[in-house]
Structure formats: structure tokens, C-alpha cells
Amino acid sequence: MNRTSSASPALASASATRPNRPATAWTGPRWIAHRGAGMLAPENTLAAFRLGARLGWRAYECDVKLSADGVPFLLHDATLGRTSNGRGSAGALTWDALSRLDAGSWHSRAYAGEPLPTLAAVAAFVRANGLHLNLEIKPTPGTEAPTGRAVAEAVRRLWAGAPAPPLLSSFSLRTLHAARDGAPELPRALLLDRPRRGWLECAAELACGAVVTHHRWMDASLLRQLRDAGLQALVYTVNEPDEAARLLSLGVDGIITDAVDRFTPD
């Protein structure tokens, strides 16, 4: 969930017409597993989703970006070195090259050979198991708008007819703007790592149904602002029981956590 995409305090352009904000952006359980299964399995892989499901988790957050030939796939970083045996920019390689990488050995020997998954593969798993998804769009720098539109259009296709499509979120305003234009009916959320000027206006302009903030920023005053604006409140990444209890008492709508083996999902 670490922020890697830039965002300006105001949108570069405004659409002449604004689609209606979804009445409810997040329809899943309050507890959301970060990047699949927190840190118990290699993040953003199907192995992590499978482990999370075995532990009883029904809602997940993960990161998606585009290959050089336009295939949406799961990866958090702009570069490949931290979570695969690849090197350099993830967005510079075709899907054929990316699909050959080992995205599991960095975590542990048990996951050696685990591949990077396409968004299509994740959609098949999520839909087959009745799971909920918060999909963070993490564009390779310089591809914010094309990635937002392509991911939104892919989600529209992959979740066609599904009762609960993914919640699309991003730190990048350009990405969310393009996602809105690509599939205006899909639910959207503005991601914030710190307060910045005009955030509430940006959420309204983007027709977001939710805001996802760093947990330290969430308090009764902010929650009241969000409720008054008709927005849901989600927080990341909460791993301590005392902090989770504080946020639950406030009444937030979603808590993203790595601690999938310590918290009990509802």
C-alpha cells in the first residue's frame, strides 16, 4: 500500500458531466487482507490469495499495473527486484517475459517458482470463490492515464454480471480520472497517505464512493467529514490490536491488514 504514484492537489482537467457516485463503494467484509495474505505468502500472487482463503478471509487488497503490451498483472513496485528474480522496470517488459519470472523465491523456498498473476487469473479465483476485492491501480510512472483506463475496462469485462465488482483505488488522480472515464459505473476510492489540500473536492470530482486513508489519520472528525460527504471510510495498513480496536469503535467501513493470522475476519 506504500505510495509510489504522484498526485497533484487538483485535477488537471474536469469532465463536463460527472457520473453519479456509487451509493455503496465497498460492499465486502470490514476486514481486508493486504496483498493477498499479508506477509505469510509472496504478496500479490495467487498463492497469497489461496492462503488467505484457507484462513477464512473473504476480502482482499492487491495492486495492478500494465505490462509493456498492455496486460494487467499484479505487482506493487514500479521495479521487479524486490519481489521477483527480474530486474528493471516492470512496465518495460511484455507479459510473455513477465510470465517467466519467479515471484515466490524471494519470500521463501516453499514458494519457489510462483509466477506473477494476471488480473484475469485473479478475477477467475475471486469470482469462483465469492470473494471481494479492493484493487489498487499502481501505474508505472508516466503511464497513469493509460493504466487507469485499461484496468477499468478490464475489470468491467472480467467482472461482467458480478454482484460485487472490485473497488478501484489509487493515489494518482490522473489514474482515477482515466478509470472513471473508462468504466464510470465501477466503484472508486481516493487513496491518501497524508492530508493534502483539496482532497475532498478531488473525491467529489472523481465521483468516488470511498476514501482510503493511512490509519493514523483517521479520527472522529475525519470520519464525520466523510459521512457528511456521503463517502465510506477505509484505512490501511492496521496490524496492532489496540489500533484496530480504536478504528472499529469509530465505525470505519474497511480495515486493511497484514496480520491475517492474528485478526479474525468478519
Q: Which residues are catalytic?
A: 34, 76
Who's near 17: CB < 8 A, 6+ residues apart?
Answer: none
In 3-state terms, what secondary structure has residue 226? Answer: helix
Positive or negative CA dihedral for 253, 259, 260, 262? negative
Return phi, psi of residue 257, to 5°: -145, 150
Closest by CA position to 29, among listed 207, 212, 234, 222: 234
- The count of residues in the chain is 266
Burial of 160 (0-12, 13-18, 19+ CB in 10 A): exposed
Using an 8 Å Cβ cutoff, are 190 and 208 in contact?
Answer: yes
Q: To which residue does cell 492462503 refer?
A: 51
What is the Cα–Cα distance from 231 to 228, expressed in whole angstroms?
A: 8
Q: How many CB atoms lie within 10 A of CB 204?
A: 15
Complete DSSP assignment for 27-66? -S-SEEEETTTTTSS-TTSHHHHHHHHHTT--EEEEEEEE
